Each structure stands twice: as structure tokens, then as C-alpha cells.
Amino acid sequence: KACAELEISDRTLRRWTNGGQVQPDQRPLVQRPGPANKLSPGERAAVLDVCNSTEFASLPPSQIVPKLADQGQYLASESSFYRILRADGQQHHRGRSKPPVRRKPPTSYKASAPREVWTWDITWMPGPVAGTFFYLYLIVDIFSRKIVGWEVYDRETSDLAAKLIRQAVLAEGCITRPLVLHADNGSPMKGATMKVTMEKLGIIASYSRPRVSNDNPFSEALFRTCKYRPNWPTKGFATKEDAQAWVKSFASWYNEEHLHSAIRFVTPNARHSGTDSATLA
């Protein structure tokens, strides 16, 4: 009688209750309950609050989740963070920087340990008056991504570059080991003083290919990170000393706190010293 009232056959009822349990509706358009592990509205709101907080507003989920884990907190997976931001209309490029462009790294040399391959470059830092600049010389180890040397000068010369390279080699203890130094084809990189200094230190020179603008991606990526930090003074630096103080603070943050996505979200210092293995174990 119940089957007749519901206008179904006895066979349908037996199929639904096969094995003593009510089987789920197999119709493709049926409305099904959400998964048991689906985040509640409160949990989704907590994720948005964290992403928009002062501490994490300038970071992507790929860096937020590891930082929360270091603090003993777990709100959701990285993919859930991205889904929640996308659903709320916040998963898009923000800030003053242009959308990232993937660049191929140089293939001539590869580093399997720290102090094997370095890359360096010079970028302009705006001065107090439009059209005036300070020059940031910066060296990075491509294995650990650590900033191994930097200085701010008021001009671009091969002599100043050679001085910085010498200081970095001494500080890192690279005199007795082979070291490759990659750079572009600018005059400070190929000046006579620079070449003589590299020869004396036993450094192997590597240069970008002619007319190839993206052959120094590690330095370019680091300059991008530097110039798009939230506290970068867009109106310029009043003095060279101000620029030096800012870069000193940035280098400390980058080496000691920044969880770098290219080295499995550990800090460059941890990667450089080998202590990252304990973190990743």
C-alpha cells in the first residue's frame, strides 16, 4: 500500500533498501548534502579575516598557510584559502606591481649547494628629486636565494662592483672554492677592474646572452620583491643613508623571515646553512 501511495513499484523499494540500508539517490540532478568536511560560514569568515589582516594582507595563501602552521594554527588547506578568496572576489592581482611573468632561469650553470653560483645586478632607487637615483648593488646565491652581499652607492662603476664582490667572497669564505658569478652585459659587470678582481679571486664569469632580457631572472625576481614591499617609499629616499637603512632592513627580513616559495617555504638563511632539512623532515 505504501508503494502504491508513493506511485513506485515493490522492486524500486527493494533496490533502495538493498542490504538493509537506504541507498543514496543516484539521479545526476539530485540535490545532495555537502561534504562532511565542508567549512562552515564561520570558518570561511575566519579565513577571510586572516587574509585581510595587516600581517597577511600582502601575502598569498601559499605563504600564509606555512606561517600559520609555524604559529600552531590551522584554518584550512592552501587550496581552500584560494577557493574562499576566489568566491569572495579577492583572488585577483592586487597592489602596485604588474602580474608576474614566468621567466626561464639560465641553463649554463646549476647549483647543488650554497656558494656555487651567484648572480648579481644593479637597480635604481628613486632619490629625493625626480630624475635623481641611488644605485642598489645586490648579490644573491641562486641555491639558497640568500642575499650574500649588497650596497647602495650614488653611481654605477666597475670599481664599486669589484669592491662589493670582494667583500661578499670574503664574508662567505669562497676564496678556496670555485664560484660562478652571473650578470648581465652592463659596463659595471664587464669593466676592467671587475674582470681583474674576478680573476684574482678565481671566479668564473657568466653573462646573459646578447639581446635576451630575461637571462638574469633570480636578480630580477629579487628586485621585484624588494620594490613591491608594502613599506617601499614610492616618493623616493631623502638621502643615501636612508636608502641604506631601508635595504638593510629588507635584507634582514628577506634572509631571516621570508618563506621563499622556490625553496619549499623555508627562509634563505635556513636553506643556506642547511638547517632547512630539520624543518622539512
Nearest-CA neighbor of 117 among 71, 158, 148, 81? 148
The per-residue pLDDT for 37 is 86
Q: What is the pLDDT of residue 177?
A: 80
Q: Is the pLDDT assigned to residue 103 strictly greater than 70? A: no
The whole-model pTM stands at 0.71
| Of 4-13, 113-122, 197-206, 270-279, minimum mean pLDDT range | 4-13
- Strands of the sheet containing 203-207, edge to edge, are 147-153, 133-141, 117-126, 179-183, 203-207
- Residue 100, pLDDT above cutoff 90: no
State whether the Cα torsion 11-15-16-19 is positive or negative: positive
Residue 236 CB coordination number (10 Å):
16
19-to-14, 15, 46 alpha-carbon distances in Å: 9, 9, 42
- Does residue 104 surpass a pLDDT of 70? no
Whether 30 has a pLDDT exceeding 90, the answer reads no
Query: Positive or negative, the Cα torsion across 256, 257, 260, 263?
Result: positive
**pLDDT of 20 above 80:** no
The domain segmentation of the chain, as residue ranges, is 41-87, 117-280
181 has a pLDDT exceeding 90: yes
Segment of 95-99, 172-176, 194-198 carrying the highest mean pLDDT: 194-198
The pLDDT value recorded for residue 17 is: 74
Provide CATH code, domain 117-280. Answer: 3.30.420.10
**Which residue has better confidence, 183 or 1?**
183
Give the whole-number percent of the chain exceeding pLDDT 70. 90
